[in-house]
Amino acid sequence: MQEYPIDGELDLHLFDLSDVGDLVPEYLRACHEKGLTQVRIIHGKGTGTLRRHVRSILDDHPLVYDYNKATDASGWGATIAHLSPPDEE
């Protein structure tokens, strides 16, 4: 498996759709372990299928307490997930 930096930004354009269901939760866990409390997930605008899939994962993830669309120029092309601080598990 390819090494991917745990820096709070996950660009899903680099991955197959079939990998997203395992990748996103694992990336959120790794970010949480590093103490990151905000994760930018880039899914693109497209048809909205990938965005909906990502958000359904975020809805059920125990470390995510909130998420919203990016407020910069990417707008609907990225989702910002807010994670609970590491000491609040």
Kindly state whether residue 2 falls inside one of the protein's structural domains: no
Kindly state whether residue 1 falls inside one of the protein's structural domains: no
Total structural domains within the chain: 1
Residue 74's CATH number:
3.30.1370.110
Q: pLDDT class for 30, splitting at 50, 70, 90? A: very high
71-85 per-residue burial string, b: 16 or more CB within 10 A, e: under 16: eeeeeebbbbbebee
pLDDT higher than threshold 60 for residue 87: yes
Kindly state whether residue 54 falls inside one of the protein's structural domains: yes
| pLDDT, tens digit, 9 for 90 and up, residues 37-73 | 999 999 999 889 999 999 999 999 999 999 999 988 7
pLDDT higher than threshold 60 for residue 79: yes
